[in-house]
Amino acid sequence: MLPKILTEIPGPKSRQLGEELQKYESRNITFISEKFPIFWDSADGINVWDVDGNRFLDLTSAFAVSSLGHRNQFITDALIRQAGKLLHGMGDVHPTELKVELCKKISELTYERWIGVKSKSVLSSSGSESIECALKTALLATGKEGVICFKDSYHGTSIGALATSGIARFREPFTKQIAQFGITAPYGIKGLSEVHNIISSNNIGAIIVEPILGRGGKVVPEEEFLPEIREICDKHNIVLILDEIYTGFNRTGKLFACEHWNVVPDIICLGKALAGGFPLSICTGKPNVMDAWPVSDGEAIHTSTFLGNPMGCAMALEALSIHTDPATTSKVNDKSAFFINTLEKIKHPYRGKVRGKGLMLGLEILDDSGNPNGKLATSLINDSLQAGIITLADGPNGHVLALTPPFNISDEEILWTSHSIEKKLKISN
Ligand SMILES: Cc1ncc(COP(=O)(O)O)c(C=O)c1O
């Protein structure tokens, strides 16, 4: 449904909650200004309602989690069914049948499909945790501590994941605490010579890479990039970790983005859309790599309280059955083609290229000289919110308008969004 705005944005209740939150939440967390945020009350499909009764179009899928629509009926029903039986178990001590089913399903969808071997998994709650697990696994498997990561890449804000983050803003305040095992190379084929240099003078055990940069600006690398990274890893006994926390589960128009390049990683990290709204992530990989972990002697050396939470597993199994329906993938590709086409028809000098794949799109916002215009992108986000569109900006210059809607976005909603962006660009002149 198209947006329906009844109050000024933010409305009176959102403003009041913003003021209250400022008193109680760390000031680093929620950005609060005259124009931001709205407080969410409920959601359905692509729509979000705020506490003032305004209806919005969510072009973010709430950080790419609600790909199958907010409160997807099948996923919600699975949650309700499971909540009536068991809310929480003992993930690494006395697990549930659901954990078995989920690990099996993930194996089928990844390494069994790709190379005919069963994968082994570690479940956790957040994307960052699955990255931590992948980094530890690579060290155990190779004995080499060094990790190559890429500029503008994002792997989370936990202290281990930060060591491989290519976004300086997140790392710099904590440099003194961050271990120095992560070495950054430029993303894309221009970074490959640097990758070779780093390997020749460091003890590199892993390369961690996003197949398409998410928060880094929806950057699709050159065709050769990932296949060459794969070759380098094979040659030097390096574990290739693909971070598909953002790109996984049809977001880019394939079940996993690595399938665009037929590259099979040694480890893949998944999260966000995995359970359609429950904090659940997974680190899964080739058995010979994952078996670097010792057999548990009664006390796992890597675990967490909520590991394999049964509600999350039940929701994930339901979400995966929708993701593996070929109709889901083809819907993403159809909507993507229509969205790209519509965005490219926006006639305005500040409208730059459309980036990305599938429904992981980014629209570059430019200035008079054709340079990145983060300031305009920010005001576009604020103005769009006033009109009922929830969106965000990405990239090192903050000039890439991120368009990552739920897959059930309608053509009418796509057209309305593009027209609305065009209108805002015209006003900005
Ligand atoms: C590619 C990628 N990796 C890792 C993360 C971190 O995930 P989480 O925020 O669940 O820890 C994110 C989150 O945006 C991400 O986009």
Whether residues 179 and 313 share a domain: the answer is: yes
Answer whether 231's CB lies under 8 Å from 265's CB. no
Comparing C-alpha atoms, which of 145, 143, 142, 124 is closest to residue 133?
124
Model-wide pTM > 0.95: yes
Answer whether 340's CB lies under 8 Å from 363's CB. no
Q: CATH number of the domain that 98 lies in?
A: 3.40.640.10
Q: Does any domain span residue 274?
A: yes
Domain boundary among 273, 308, 323: 323
Whether residues 300 and 390 share a domain: the answer is: no
Q: Does any domain span residue 3?
A: no
Whether residues 265 and 163 share a domain: the answer is: yes
**Confidence at residue 188, expressed as pLDDT on a 0 to 100 scale:** 98
Domain range spanning residue 56?
Answer: 12-71+327-428
Whether residues 216 and 316 share a domain: the answer is: yes
Q: Does any domain span residue 7?
A: no
What span, in angstroms and rounded, lies between the C-alpha atoms of 399 and 397? 5
Residue 66, token pair as written in the block: 């609600």
**Confidence at residue 428, expressed as pLDDT on a 0 to 100 scale:** 83
Q: Does any domain span residue 149?
A: yes
**Confidence at residue 283, expressed as pLDDT on a 0 to 100 scale:** 98
Whether residues 335 and 405 share a domain: the answer is: yes
Residue 272 Cα: closest atom of ligand 1:
10
Q: Does any domain span residue 1?
A: no
- Nearest protein CA to atom 6 of ligand 1, as residue: 156
Residue 210 Cα: closest atom of ligand 1:
1
Residue 247 Cα: closest atom of ligand 1:
1
Q: Which parts of the chain have pLDDT scores under 50?
A: none
Whether residues 260 and 358 share a domain: the answer is: no
Neighbour order of strands in the sheet with 392-394: 351-357, 360-365, 400-403, 392-394
How far apart, in Å, are the Cα atoms of 15 and each of 18, 28, 37, 165, 296?
A: 5, 18, 8, 34, 51
Q: Does any domain span residue 267?
A: yes
Whether residues 29 and 129 share a domain: the answer is: no
Pocket around ligand 1 at a 6 A CB cut-off: 63, 126-128, 131, 154-156, 210, 214-215, 243, 245-246, 271
**Confidence at residue 240, expressed as pLDDT on a 0 to 100 scale:** 99
Whether residues 61 and 125 share a domain: the answer is: no
Domain boundary among 291, 323, 355: 323
Cα dihedral 105, 110, 115, 117 sign = negative
Whether residues 118 and 234 share a domain: the answer is: yes
Q: Does any domain span residue 18?
A: yes
Please give the tally of structural domains in the chain: 2
Q: What confidence tens digit (pLDDT) does each residue in 25-41 have?
A: 999 999 999 999 999 99
| Ligand 1 center from residue 367 Cα (angstroms) | 30
Residues 6+ apart with CB under 8 A from 262: 227
- Nearest protein CA to atom 16 of ligand 1, as residue: 246
| Ligand 1 center from residue 165 Cα (angstroms) | 11
Q: Does any domain span residue 2?
A: no
Residue 129 Cα: closest atom of ligand 1:
11
Whether residues 352 and 238 share a domain: the answer is: no
Q: CATH number of the domain that 19 lies in?
A: 3.90.1150.10
| Ligand 1 center from residue 253 Cα (angstroms) | 19
Whether residues 60 and 139 share a domain: the answer is: no
Ligand 1 pocket test, pick from 65, 246, 267, 281 with the greatest ligand atom count within 8 Å of Cβ, gives 246
Domain boundary among 283, 308, 323: 323
Number of Cβ within a 10 Å radius of residue 193: 11
Whether residues 158 and 40 share a domain: the answer is: no
